[in-house]
Amino acid sequence: MAILFDFDGTLFDTSHDIHAAVNQLLKEQNKPAIDYALVRGLVSQGSKAILEKVTELPAEHRARLLEICLEHNFPKSLPFPGIDELLSTLDKKSIPWGIVTNRSTAMTMPILECKGYAKRPHCIVCGDTTDKSKPHPKPLLHAANLLNKQPENCVYIGDAKTDIDAGKAAGMQTVAAGFGFINPTEPVDSWQADYIVNSPADILPWIETWLVD
């Protein structure tokens, strides 16, 4: 089997750095700062959604927002508690794992490199790696191919409905990361994931149960 992870809101908590970047952009545009909670629930939907839904700035500011993120080198972005232990356990059990994210390569690799994660995954599929992005299954199928695994022998873990939709469309087992960047009013149960976890510590026991089954 193989385990594939979404990045923002599943492997890493990037919300504080993205919130800081949004407020710097707003300051540059002479607009008031916004609360962290408004940004956190939208991180998994991407920078376009953040701009459209909470900043009242046009989409052309997206490039500057991403530029600010890179300028600050992600000082507050860290793996969620328990992720390092989970990944180390997967490595010890020789279970390959990878990342499938809608982030562009230019926004994914710098953070992985500065946090020491660039060489750890067995595959990294970004939003521009294939000609489709999630919820289309193509990025996940590409990841399975890179790992030389059949899709039905892969598990995809993510914190957004698009992640679960992509995983199911690819024929993979799906796990909803309930600890991620989810709007409190969003019914995670409605995503119809195979399993919902409330912390990274809950992931491995489910994987081991699935292996036994």
13 a catalytic residue: no
Which residues lie closer than 8 Å to 186 by C-beta, 6 or more apart?
Answer: 161
213 a catalytic residue: no
pLDDT of amino acid 213:
59
Give the separation between CA 5 and CA 11, rounded to whole angstroms: 7
Is the pLDDT assigned to residue 187 strictly greater than 80?
yes
Give the separation between CA 107 and CA 124, rounded to whole angstroms: 12
Give the separation between CA 109 and CA 121, rounded to whole angstroms: 12
Q: What is the pLDDT of residues 50-105, one digit of tens each?
A: 999 989 898 899 999 999 999 998 999 999 999 999 999 999 999 999 999 999 99
pLDDT of amino acid 149:
98
Report, at the CATH architecture level, how domain 2-13+77-212 is classified: 3-Layer(aba) Sandwich (3.40)
pTM score, two decimals?
0.94
Give the separation between CA 163 and CA 134, rounded to whole angstroms: 7
Query: Which helix (H) or strand (E) segment is 188 a member of?
Result: none
The arithmetic mean of pLDDT across residues 2-26, rounded, is 97
pLDDT of amino acid 92:
93
Is the pLDDT assigned to residue 212 strictly greater than 90?
no
Which residues lie closer than 8 Å to 136 by C-beta, 6 or more apart?
Answer: 166, 169
Q: What is the pLDDT of residues 27-55, one digit of tens each?
A: 999 999 999 999 998 998 888 889 999 89
- Identify whether 135 is preceded by a cis peptide bond (ω within 30 of 0): yes
Find, among 172, 121, 133, the residue nearest to 11 by Cα: 121
pLDDT of amino acid 184:
80
Please identify which of the residues 8, 17, 159, 163 carries the catalytic annotation: 8
CB-count burial class (<10 Å; 0-12, 13-18, 19+) for 60: exposed
Please identify which of the residues 6, 17, 163, 165 carries the catalytic annotation: 6
